Amino acid sequence: MSARILDGVPLADAIRAEVAAAVKRYAGDGRKPGLAVVIVGENPASQVYVKAKGKACEEAGMHSETVRLSERTTEAELLATVERLNRDPAIHGFLVQLPLPSHINGERVLNAIDPAKDVDGFHPVNVGRLSIGDPTALRPATPFGVQQMLIRSGIETRGAHAVIVGRSNIVGKPMASLLIQPGTGGDATVTVCHSKTRDLPAVCRSADILVVAMGKPEFVTADMVRPGATVIDVGINRVDDASQPKGYRIVGDVAYAPVAEVAGAITPVPGGVGRMTIAMLLQNTLQAFQQAAGRA
């Protein structure tokens, strides 16, 4: 195995420590950033994420609130919760955990969140701000975390050809927006691929930095990677594995072992990008708090 492993654990820990240090400084003036997470229903994966977010928030010294609503909550009731959090002065950022039950229109809920408190960065106002390079944009945590991994691992994005596989609104598109902005962690030449891309392997092989966010277990193989390229695996997939106590294991969208033989650097799954996401959510909450304080 030749690739350098981009370990998300120390990187995420460093960001969380920086956030905690900033929170401590504000605590001296009696001020505290607050994050709320709204969860509707009992989706087991969502329950795990929400618990982890609340715990991370408390560990960073922030005020944390989890709003648990039943599966039968109506859209009007959820919108009323969003309105309450929009007005709550103790809450500087909040998110509504996805997926939502099918009887609720997720777009309507998302659009009701005050963009200044939209720590997921999914509101159209934040999407627009990110796209025009406005530094007040709240940036979606996962691609923001990828960008931080690149910066903090000393991987040069400037002038590099970054190929992103996946064009979702939560990963692929904001990843492209971040990497093409001028400045640190940007200035890349970006290609975004999707299911209609012609000759995906050839496009991937042209990448200096390959970011994969497809949701397809171990799809990217060694022949799709240029020797020495940096490979960032965003994918989190459960695959059946009878040898594991839980009956499954977690793999990325990249065939890790063979790709690590050719890549220059690679993120593991788990322990790579996934570790960064919550750290960036805390960072976003701190940013929302600081921006609110600036406006006060």
Residues linked to residue 93 through DSSP beta bridges, in sequence order: 35
Count of positions on this chain that bind ligand NDP (CB under 6 A) = 25
148 is catalytic: no
120 is catalytic: yes
CB of 80 to ligand NDP, least distance (A): 28
Contact (Cβ atoms closer than 8 angstroms) between residue 158 and residue 205: no
In a 13 Å sphere around the CA of 89, the CA atoms on its Cβ side amount to 4
Using CB under 6 A as the binding rule, whether residue 200 contacts ligand NDP is answered as: yes
Q: Which residue's CB is nearer to ligand NDP, number 84 or number 194?
A: 194
Task: Build a one-symbol-per-residue string for 25-54: x at contacts with ligand NDP by CB under 6 A, - elsewhere.
Answer: ------------------------------
Site residues for ligand NDP, 136-195, by CB under 6 A, read 142, 165-168, 170-172, 193-195
Q: Which residue's CB is nearer to ligand NDP, number 12 or number 62?
A: 12
User: Quick one: DSSP state of residue 253?
Assistant: S
Q: What sign has the CA pseudo-torsion 248, 249, 252, 256?
A: negative
Active-site entry in 114, 117, 118, 120 = 120
What Rg do the C-alpha atoms of the chain give, in angstroms? 19
CB of 199 to ligand NDP, least distance (A): 11
Task: Build a one-symbol-per-residue string for 234-273: x at contacts with ligand NDP by CB under 6 A, - elsewhere.
Answer: xxxx-----------------------------------x
Beta sheet of 93-96, edge-to-edge order:
63-69, 34-40, 93-96
Helix or strand run (H / E) with residue 209: strand 209-212
Q: Which tokens go with 248?
A: 């499954």
| Residue spans of alpha helices (H) in the chain | 8-27, 44-59, 75-87, 106-112, 124-131, 141-152, 172-180, 200-205, 256-262, 273-295
Task: Build a one-symbol-per-residue string for 95-134: x at contacts with ligand NDP by CB under 6 A, - elsewhere.
Answer: ----------------------------------------
CB of 181 to ligand NDP, least distance (A): 20
CB of 257 to ligand NDP, least distance (A): 19
Distance between CA atoms of residues 168 and 78, nearest Å? 24
Distance between CA atoms of residues 6 and 12, nearest Å? 11
Q: Which residue's CB is nearer to ligand NDP, number 73 or number 97?
A: 97
Contact (Cβ atoms closer than 8 angstroms) between residue 5 and residue 271: no
Q: Which residue's CB is nearer to ligand NDP, number 152 or number 216?
A: 216
CB of 26 to ligand NDP, least distance (A): 27
CB of 120 to ligand NDP, least distance (A): 11
Provide the 3-class DSSP secondary structure of residue 231: strand
Distance between CA atoms of residues 221 and 112, nearest Å? 41
Binding region for ligand NDP (CB under 6 A) out of 56-64, 95-103, 130-138, 232-240: 232-240
Q: Is the peptide bond before 44 cis (omega within 30 degrees of 0)?
A: no
53 is catalytic: yes
Which residues are identified as catalytic? 53, 97, 120
Applying CB under 6 A, the residues found at the interface with ligand NDP are: 142, 165-168, 170-172, 193-197, 200, 213-216, 234-237, 273-274, 277
